[in-house]
């Protein structure tokens, strides 16, 4: 059984001491590929370097809504330049989007998200979208722009109606640790009802651990319990679920077949 982590912050410092050993461990568990999304210009070089050094790692370049205020005055031009160069390993634009929680600074979020949607359209790349308390606004912006390569709504948490709206726009739904929490019943029911092809697995490692593991460092090893939970939720054979999710993720990000 092969599994792909469509959203793993492998570049974060918490993995520095034993990254190589962990990669080998995850591969033995069936994790054959990981997509590492950038959060801003501060880590563009690091995610690119990881893909150069390690097989089975791709990345996206973008600016996370939390950090739009931390970018240099040249950041948008530099991002365009990186995307235009289309380096090996680049598979998407992001992590970008909107986070409308009151504790998150709002200035610049919409402008940066609109700009990155435009860059994804220009360079024919999918988007990795962060959408927190913003699903309807994000869907409206995507509907207006119509990015042809679609993307992923990272850590989807919403209703079946919202899930269907994103899927109709060409966006898959990121399935992560949220499905292990009973309080997320609305999202669990939405993911149960959606076509399996509309879903991709993700961990958001080192964040978003499974229920019962709060406070622990999350890793791509969580993909196995995640796909097990999803198969149980949908009452479908785990091998079938894993294959469809793997194929769907490869198709979205245009990932090469494993060697």
Is there a binding annotation on residue 82?
no
Is there a binding annotation on residue 207?
no
* Burial annotation 231-250 (CB, 10 A radius, 16+ → b, else e): bebbeeeeeebbeebbebbb
Measured distance CA(118)–CA(148) in Å, rounded: 11
Is there a binding annotation on residue 154?
yes
Give the count of beta carbons closer than 10 Å to the beta carbon of residue 160: 15
3-state secondary structure of 208: coil
Is there a binding annotation on residue 70?
no
Measured distance CA(138)–CA(134) in Å, rounded: 6
Is there a binding annotation on residue 33?
no
3-state DSSP percent of the chain in helix, strand and coil, to 5: 50, 15, 30
Is there a binding annotation on residue 54?
no
Binding residues for a divalent metal cation, as ranges, are 7, 9, 95, 130, 154, 204
Annotated binding site: 7, 9, 95, 130, 154, 204
């Amino acid at each position: 059984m092969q599994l792909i982590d469509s959203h793993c912050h492998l570049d974060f410092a918490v993995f520095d001491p034993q990254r190589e050993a962990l990669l080998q461990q995850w591969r033995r568990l069936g994790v054959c590929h990981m997509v590492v999304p950038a959060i801003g210009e501060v880590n563009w070089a690091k995610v690119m370097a990881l893909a150069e050094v390690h097989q089975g790692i791709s990345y996206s370049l973008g600016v996370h809504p939390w950090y739009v205020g931390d970018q240099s005055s040249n950041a948008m031009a530099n991002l365009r330049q990186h995307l235009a160069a289309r380096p090996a390993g680049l598979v998407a634009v992001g992590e970008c989007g909107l986070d409308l929680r009151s504790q998150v600074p709002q200035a610049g979020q919409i402008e940066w998200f609109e700009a990155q949607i435009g860059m994804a359209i220009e360079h024919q790349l999918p988007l990795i979208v962060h959408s927190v308390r913003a699903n309807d606004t994000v869907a409206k912006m995507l509907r207006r722009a119509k990015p042809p390569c679609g993307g992923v709504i990272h850590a989807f948490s919403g209703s079946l109606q919202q899930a269907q709206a994103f899927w109709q726009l060409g966006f898959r739904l990121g399935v992560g640790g949220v499905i292990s929490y009973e309080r997320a019943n609305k999202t669990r029911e939405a993911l149960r009802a959606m076509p399996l092809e509309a879903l991709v697995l993700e961990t958001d490692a080192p964040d978003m651990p499974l229920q019962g593991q709060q406070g622990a460092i999350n890793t791509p090893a969580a993909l196995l319990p995640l796909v097990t939970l999803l198969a149980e939720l949908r009452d479908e054979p785990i091998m079938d679920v894993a294959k469809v999710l793997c194929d769907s993720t490869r198709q979205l990000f245009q990932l090469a077949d494993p060697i």
